[in-house]
Amino acid sequence: MNRVKKQLQEIIIILAIVSLAGCAGLGSKSSGPFVQSADNVDIHYSDHGQGETALVFVHGWMCDSGYWQDQIAYFKSKYRVVAVDLAGHGQSSLAREDYSIEKFAGDVAAVVNHLQLDKVILVGHSLGGPVVMETATVLSAKTIGVVAVDSFATGYQWPDKNKIPEVVAPFRKNFANETYKMASNMFSATTDQSLVDKIASDMASGPEEVGISAFTRVLEWVASDYQSARENLSKPFVQINAFHKNMPIIRDKIVIVPDVGHFIPQEAPKEFNAALEQAVFLMQ
């Protein structure tokens, strides 16, 4: 009986792993193209449409370029649309030890330079917000605007620098469980549960070493570099945010999408596309 019980447990574990693997990414996967970053990491991207202005989409923590599928479908008839898999995410390689915001910005810059894009609007969700702000500094001559999607001025309480190890500690102990729990709590009460489960499972099944490094680095970046990066940003800057109580009053333009949680482009793609279209129109 013990042998049979052990076999059944092994089968259940295998099925669970296969189930999580099947949740990886919201969009269809392709086999390329790739470009190498400055530190020789293979960076995957997709490239659709055409036009003088390119929208360059950067996903959030433990997500990938497939999360922008509704935006690619909507905007590719009007603009050139590029979506990037940051190192350690999606189909990009894991050949990096430090997944910092600055190095992620280098990933985006490598794609933009490779495609010879001269007029770009950088759009970043969550962790992608800091990444596109850094990218705008690196690619100042090519950037005409920056859009941060639920990255700043949100309900999340960013920790002080000395509190970061304490915040990261539970993820070091049980990365998949803590990531699933955190992601599940980022949606509105009315979000379809299947979408919640899919995104939370997708994020929780990502590489632990990438997740912990990137999570630590983005917390450090916001604690140390956000204000200086914002002050040095000379390009038009728009934030598209979910509504939350006690939203701080800041000088930046904020477009609010109601009745959604953190994953605005996935929860309300039509409303998000309309908000982004307005922001892009004002930047050209």
Convert the pLDDT of each residue in 88-113 to its tens digit. Answer: 999 999 999 999 999 999 999 999 99
SS3 263: coil
Closest CA to 120 of 136, 100, 96, 131: 136
Query: Does 69 have pLDDT greater than 50?
Result: yes
pTM: 0.89
* Tens of pLDDT, residues 246-283: 666 666 788 999 999 999 999 999 999 999 999 998 88
Least confident of 10-14, 242-246, 271-275: 10-14
Query: Does 143 have pLDDT greater than 90?
Result: yes
Average confidence (pLDDT) over 226-242:
90
Rounded Cα distance, 56 and 122, in Å:
5
Q: What integer pLDDT is reported at residue 156 of this predicted model?
A: 82
Q: Which two tokens stand for residue 37?
A: 């970053």
Closest CA to 217 of 120, 138, 102, 89: 102
Query: Does 14 have pLDDT greater than 60?
Result: no
Query: Does 157 have pLDDT greater than 70?
Result: yes
Domain span at 82: 2-283
Query: Does 16 have pLDDT greater than 50?
Result: no
Closest CA to 123 of 141, 115, 135: 135
Q: What percent of the chain lies above the pLDDT cut of 90?
A: 76
Q: What integer pLDDT is reported at residue 13 of this predicted model?
A: 31
Q: What integer pLDDT is reported at residue 194 of this predicted model?
A: 97
CATH of the domain at 13: 3.40.50.1820
Q: What integer pLDDT is reported at residue 120 of this predicted model?
A: 98
| Intra-chain end-to-end CA distance of the chain, in Å | 70
* Arithmetic mean of pLDDT over the chain: 88
Q: What integer pLDDT is reported at residue 250 of this predicted model?
A: 66
Rounded Cα distance, 118 and 89, in Å:
26
Query: Does 15 have pLDDT greater than 60?
Result: no
Q: What integer pLDDT is reported at residue 226 of this predicted model?
A: 86
Q: How many domains does the chain have?
A: 1
Rounded Cα distance, 10 and 2, in Å:
12
Rounded Cα distance, 237 and 265, in Å:
18
Rounded Cα distance, 60 and 104, in Å:
11
Q: Which amino acid is it at 42?
A: D
